[in-house]
Structure 1
Amino acid sequence: MSKKVVTMGEIMLRLSTKGYERFTQAESFDVVYGGGEANVAVSLANYGFDAHFVTKLPENPIGQSAVNHLRRFGVNTDYIARGGDRVGIYYLETGASMRPSKVVYDRADSAIAEADIEDFDFDEIFKDAEWFHFSGITPAISKKAAVLTEKALIAAKKHGVTVSVDLNYRKKLWTPEEAKEVMTNLMQYVDVCIGNEEDAEKVLGFKPGETDVTSGNLELDGYKTIFKQMKEKFGFKYVVTTLRESYSASDNGWSALIYDGNEFYRSKKYDIRIVDRVGGGDSFAGGLIYGLLSSNDDFKYALEFAVGASALKHTIKGDFNLVTVDEVETLINGDASGRVQR
C-alpha cells in the first residue's frame, strides 16, 4: 500500500506569456494550473505515493479544469471542497539573461481564501496519513486561510502525522511583521522546516550572515548558525534550505543544505540552464518528502534526491515537476549528460 501524504493550499490558473514575451507584447497566454502545495502533491503522485490535495474550488468549469489537471497527474482530489466564487489567477512573464521573471497576482477573494473550517473533515483527511505539507503562502492569502491552516495542523498532529513547511515568503501577500506573527505560532506543529535565506529572515527573523543570493555569494557558516538557532527555538527534526546562486535569470547554481541537530550536510551542486523556474522550490520539497519517507529517514539521500528532482524541474515548462523516480536516480547517480534516451 502506497504511503498517504496530504498537502493543502491554493491551486491557481496560470497565464504565461509565450516564450520570453513581455506582458506588453502578449496577444495570447499559455494556460496551466499550479500552486505551491498542489505542485508538491503532483511530485509525490509521480513518485507513486497516495497524494491528496486539499483546497476549495468553485463549482464552475474553471474550478473543474483545475481539479481535472490534478487528476491527470494522479493526485487524489476527494478532499477538495466545492463552492466559492473564483479561482485565483497569476500571470507570468518569463525572464532571460539579466531580465528577471515577473509575476502578477489576481487572487483576492478566491474560494480557498474564503473557505470555512466546516468545508473540511480533517479527521477523515488525516486518517492513515503519514505526512502533511503546507507552505507560508496558504496562511498569507487571508486571515480565514491562516485559521484554517492551524486547524489542519492541530488535526494532523492529533493523528500523529509528520508535518513539513516550506516558509515561502511572498511580499505581495503580506508584510514581514504579519508573516512573523502568524508563522512563528504555526512552527510549534512543524517537524521539517524548509526555506531559503529570504524566507528565514522575513518569516522567522533569522538572517544567514552575509549571504546575498543576487550576487551569488553564499556564506554557509551563516546558515549553520541560524539552523542551530531555529532548531533550538522550534525543535525541528530537520532544517533545510535550497542554495540558489543566481548568475542570471537563465543560469543558476543549485544545491541544498540540511541539519539534523548533529550534522550539516550539503548536497552536490548543479549548474542549470533554466526553462521554467516556477515550482522549483516545490519540486525540492516534494523530493525531500519522498526521500525521507522512502528511505526511513536517510536525510543525505533525501537531500540529494530533492536537489536532483528540483534541478530537473527547472528544465520543464509549467508549475508541475513531471519526472519519475528513475529519472531522478539516474541524475543523482552521476548521469547529467542530457543524452537522448533510446
Structure 2
Amino acid sequence: MAKVVTMGEIMLRLSTPGNEKFIQADEFDVCYGGGEANVAVSLANYGHDAEFVTKVPDNPIGECAVAALRKMNVKTDNIAKGGERLGIYFLESGASMRASNVVYDRAHSSISTAEAADFDFDKIFDGADWFHFTGITPAVSDAAAELTEEALKAAKAKGVKVSVDLNFRKKLWSSEKAQKVMSNLMQYVDVCIGNEEDAEKVLGFKPGATDVTSGDLELAGYEDIFKQMVEKFNFEYVISSLRVSHSASDNGWSACIYSRDTKEFYHSKEYRVHPIVDRVGGGDSFAGGTICGFVDGKNFKDALEFGVAASALKHTIPGDFNLVSRADVENLVGGDGSGRVQR
C-alpha cells in the first residue's frame, strides 16, 4: 500500500437535477469534489493510503467537506482550518448536443488565501511515495500558486514522485498566465498528465491536426509533442486522455503515453461511453487510476489501461467521486464490459 498525497481545493457542488437547465431548477443536488480531492478518493478506494491537503473554513460547511472525504477513507489530518468560505460551483449537466455548463463562485475561498505556514509539509510528506497536484490550484490565486511551489519543493526534498494534471480552466486564468506559472512548476514534475487543450493552453504545445469535435485524433501529433515536452521538461512520462465528443452524452475515451526512458509511445484501448451519466471528474478518475497503476508497480502500459478503464466507469456514476472498486476496473480491463447484473 503506497502513501499518496494530493493538495488542492475541495468545493461544494450544486447541480441541477437530471439534465435541467439552471433556469428550470427549483432545487440543487449537493455533493463535494475537486480535482485533487477526487484523485485522493480514487486511490483510497483502491486500497492505498491517500491523504488530501487543503484549507477549509472553520464552520459546518467546511466540516461537511472534510466529512465527505473521511467517508471515502481519505486521510484529512493535515487539513488546515480558517479563511472566509468554501468555494462553490454550479453544474448544469448537458445532454445530446447541448454541452454542460459550470459557473464558479469561489472568490476568497479558504484555499485561495492559504500559506505554507498553514501546513507542516515535512510531516505531510514523511513516508510519502507520490504527490499529485493540478493546474487548478495555482490558478485560484497568486497565494495558492506560491503554496503549490512550496509543497513541490518539500515533496522533492523527500524524494517523492510528483505528478501533475495540467487542467486548464479558462474561467480562472488566461493561457498567458498559465504558461508563465506552470512552466516554472514543471521543474518538479515527473509525470505530466493532460489533454490536448491543456498541453496547448498551459505549456504551449499543440498536437498536430487533432480535432476532438470531429473525432479526428492525429496520434503522431501527440507523440511529437510528447517528445518535445520530455526534451524541455525532462518528464519521465507524458500522458494525455483522448476524449472524442460525439455529443454530451456519447464520448469515445482512450489515452496515450510516452516513456522518456524507453522512448515508446503507446495508445490504449478505446471505450465508447454512452450514455454518459456524469462526466465531471472523468479526468480526475483517469489520473487516479493511472497513478494507482504506477504505485501498484505496473508497467506504464498496464498503468495506463487501468486508468482509462477506471475513468470510463466513472462516467456512469453521478457526483465528482469515482466509486468503482478495484475489481470493477480489473474486470473491464480484462474485457468484461457487458454490464450484466452481478448475482
Question: How does the TM-score come out when normalised to structure 2?
Answer: 0.99
Instruction: Note the C-alpha offset of 1:116.
Output: 1.4
Where do residues 144-155 of structure 1 align in structure 2 (5 Å cutoff)? 144-155=143-154
SS at match of 1:254: strand
Query: Which residue of structure 2 aligns with residue 164 of structure 1?
Result: 163
Q: Distance in 2 between matches of 1:218 and 1:78?
A: 43
Query: Which residue of structure 2 aligns with residue 318 of structure 1?
Result: 319
Q: Distance in 2 between matches of 1:67 and 1:140?
A: 22
Letter matched to residue 143 of structure 1: D
Q: Distance in 1 between matches of 2:25 and 2:234?
A: 48
Q: Distance in 1 between matches of 2:215 and 2:110?
A: 39
What is the CA deviation profile of residues 226-245 of structure 1, one whole-angstrom value per residue up to 9, with x for unaligned ones? Answer: 00000000000000000100
Query: Which residue of structure 1 aligns with residue 89 of structure 2?
Result: 90
Q: Distance in 2 between matches of 1:214 and 1:38?
A: 29
Instruction: Note the C-alpha offset of 1:117.
Output: 1.3
Q: Distance in 2 between matches of 1:49 and 1:179?
A: 31
Instruction: Note the C-alpha offset of 1:216.
Output: 1.4
Letter matched to residue 75 of structure 2: N
Instruction: Note the C-alpha offset of 1:325.
Output: 0.8
What is the CA deviation profile of residues 111-165 of structure 1, one whole-angstrom value per residue up to 9, with x for unaligned ones? Answer: 0001111100100000000000000000000000000000000000000000000
Query: Which residue of structure 2 aligns with residue 63 of structure 1?
Result: 62
Instruction: Note the C-alpha offset of 1:217.
Output: 1.2
Q: Distance in 2 between matches of 1:293 and 1:69?
A: 24
Query: Which residue of structure 1 aligns with residue 341 of structure 2?
Result: 340
Instruction: Note the C-alpha offset of 1:214.
Output: 1.6
SS at match of 1:240: strand
SS at match of 1:147: helix
Q: Distance in 2 between matches of 1:20 and 1:239?
A: 35
Instruction: Note the C-alpha offset of 1:221.
Output: 0.8
Q: In the alignment, is residue 275 of structure 1 matched against residue 274 of structure 2? A: no
Q: In the alignment, is residue 121 of structure 1 matched against residue 120 of structure 2? A: yes
SS at match of 2:4: strand
Query: Which residue of structure 2 aligns with residue 257 of structure 1?
Result: 256
Q: In the alignment, is residue 286 of structure 1 matched against residue 285 of structure 2? A: no
Q: Distance in 1 between matches of 2:131 and 2:151?
A: 9
Query: Which residue of structure 1 aligns with residue 49 of structure 2?
Result: 50
Q: In the alignment, is residue 8 of structure 1 matched against residue 10 of structure 2? A: no
Query: Which residue of structure 2 aligns with residue 137 of structure 1?
Result: 136
Instruction: Note the C-alpha offset of 1:108.
Output: 0.6
SS at match of 1:247: strand
Query: Which residue of structure 1 aligns with residue 228 of structure 2?
Result: 229
Question: How does the TM-score come out when normalised to structure 1?
Answer: 0.99
Q: Distance in 1 between matches of 2:204 and 2:143?
A: 24
Q: Distance in 1 between matches of 2:199 and 2:66?
A: 32
Query: Which residue of structure 1 aligns with residue 39 of structure 2?
Result: 40
What is the CA deviation profile of residues 27-65 of structure 1, one whole-angstrom value per residue up to 9, with x for unaligned ones? Answer: 000000000000000000000011000000011000000
Query: Which residue of structure 1 aligns with residue 304 of structure 2?
Result: 303
Structure 2 gap ranges (5+): none
Instruction: Note the C-alpha offset of 1:215.
Output: 1.6
Letter matched to residue 314 of structure 1: H
SS at match of 1:259: strand
SS at match of 2:113: coil
Instruction: Note the C-alpha offset of 1:212.
Output: 1.2
Query: Which residue of structure 1 aligns with residue 20 of structure 2?
Result: 21
Range with bigger deviation, 171-180 or 259-268: 259-268
Instruction: Note the C-alpha offset of 1:3.
Output: 1.3
SS at match of 1:112: helix
Q: Distance in 2 between matches of 1:38 and 1:74?
A: 12
Q: Share of identical aligned residues, percent?
A: 71
Letter matched to residue 292 of structure 1: F
SS at match of 1:292: helix
Q: In the alignment, is residue 199 of structure 1 matched against residue 198 of structure 2? A: yes
Q: Distance in 2 between matches of 1:58 and 1:277?
A: 28
Q: Distance in 1 between matches of 2:193 and 2:4?
A: 17
Q: Distance in 1 between matches of 2:215 and 2:81?
A: 44
Q: Distance in 1 between matches of 2:215 and 2:248?
A: 12
SS at match of 2:138: helix
Query: Which residue of structure 1 aligns with residue 181 of structure 2?
Result: 182
Structure 1 gap ranges (5+): none
Q: Distance in 2 between matches of 1:117 and 1:166?
A: 21
Q: Distance in 2 between matches of 1:72 and 1:140?
A: 28
Q: Distance in 1 between matches of 2:16 and 2:333?
A: 32
**Number of residue-to-residue matches in the alignment:** 340
SS at match of 2:91: strand
SS at match of 1:113: helix
Q: Distance in 2 between matches of 1:152 and 1:212?
A: 36
Q: Distance in 1 between matches of 2:115 and 2:292?
A: 30
Q: Distance in 1 between matches of 2:283 and 2:23?
A: 28
